[in-house]
Amino acid sequence: MSDGVNAAKQAAGIASCDFVTSGMRVGLGTGSTVRYTVLELGRRMAEEGLEIEGVPTSEATAALARELGIPLLEWHQVSELHVTIDGADEFDPGFNLIKGGGGALTREKIVAQASAAMVVVTDPSKQVTKLGSFPLPVEVLQFGWEVTARHLGLLCPGEVSRRGGDEPYLTDNGGYILDCHFGATIVDPAGLETDVRGIAGVVEAGLFTGMADAIVIGSSAGVELLLKPGGRLGR
């Protein structure tokens, strides 16, 4: 990753912390951009008296949060989170996302679903007019994954490949990731999300529709904030 991209991710990650105030229960996303959010939340707790509790979207994020002293909640301790902050691999003008480049999409979606709002941290390279250039990650059960892949192939015009090939990548849930090469052809993200989730063996699709309320875009020029019109953080 170039220094410029890294700086952009850091700027977005830090700026997103402005959505967090003391007393909040916060969903902590996964990836190199939201890592900067988690680091900054840890810093504000240590140095500025911020008091929050978190729910992590991956074992990696849980480990980082523990290192930083961010208290983590179990699901039986929480019904709703105030906000989740997470990265994305692509976002379109309708605030639809492709996520799962880091393999954490199922837990990320569960945490986002349990949250009153979702803030996405990105850089300009993730902004597209139509989703799909980034291969859509789909988590599937190991059982019968070959047949699940064939059914996904009926929806996907390009290759459907198991991440890791013969040494398959395993998610925190023990699933496989199938990367579906749609190309920039996804005209109906919500419809495709429904169709993918309807295939037996699919655990979750890396399409997040109707979930993101704000997108924080870091770049060398500064930070841009997009608020979804009519969204849960809209003004």
Q: Is residue 179 close enough to count as binding ligand 5RP by CB under 6 A? A: no
Residue 150 or 223: which CB sits closer to ligand 5RP? 223
The C-alpha atoms of residue 229 and residue 214 are separated, in whole angstroms, by: 9
Closest contact distance (angstroms) between CB of 234 and ligand 5RP is 23
Tell me which DSSP letter residue 82 carries. Answer: S
Task: Kindly list the distances between the CA atom of residue 217 and the CA atoms of 10, 43, 214, 221, 228, in Å, as whole numbers in the listed order.
Answer: 10, 21, 10, 10, 14
Q: Toward ligand 5RP, which CB reaches closer, 22 or 210?
A: 210
31 exposed, middle or buried (CB, 10 Å; 0-12, 13-18, 19+)?
buried
Identity of the residue, 163 or 230, whose beta carbon is nearer to ligand 5RP in the bound complex? 163
Give the whole-angstrom CA distance, residue 117 versus residue 27: 10
Tell me the per-residue interface mask from 108 to 147 with ligand 5RP, x by CB under 6 A, - otherwise: x---------------------------------------
Assess contact for 76 and 109: CB atoms under 8 A: no
Which one, 31 or 42, has the nearer CB to ligand 5RP?
Answer: 31
CB 161 within 8 A of CB 209: no
Q: How far is the CB of 158 from ligand 5RP (least distance, A)?
A: 19
Residue 229 corresponds to which tokens in the numbers above? Answer: 């019109």
Q: Does 87 bind ligand 5RP (CB under 6 A)?
A: yes
Which residue from 10, 26, 28, 33 is in contact with ligand 5RP, where contact means CB under 6 A?
33
Among 42, 54, 56, 103, binds ligand 5RP (CB under 6 A): 103
Count, residues near ligand 5RP per rule CB under 6 A: 17
> For residue 189, what are the contacts with CB-CB under 8 A and spacing of at least 6?
92, 94, 96, 131, 207, 209
Q: Kindly state whether residue 30 participates in binding ligand 5RP, applying the rule CB under 6 A.
A: yes
Contact, 81 vs 25, CB < 8 A?
Answer: yes
CA–CA distance, 150 with 164 (Å, rounded to integer): 18
- Under the binding rule (CB under 6 A), the answer on residue 175 touching ligand 5RP is no
Name which of 77 and 214 has its Cβ closer to ligand 5RP: 214
Residue 99 as a binder of ligand 5RP (CB under 6 A): the answer is yes
Catalytically annotated residues: 108
Scan for tokens 């902050």, then name that residue: 85
Please report, as ranges, the residues that interact with ligand 5RP according to CB under 6 A.
29-33, 86-89, 99-105, 108
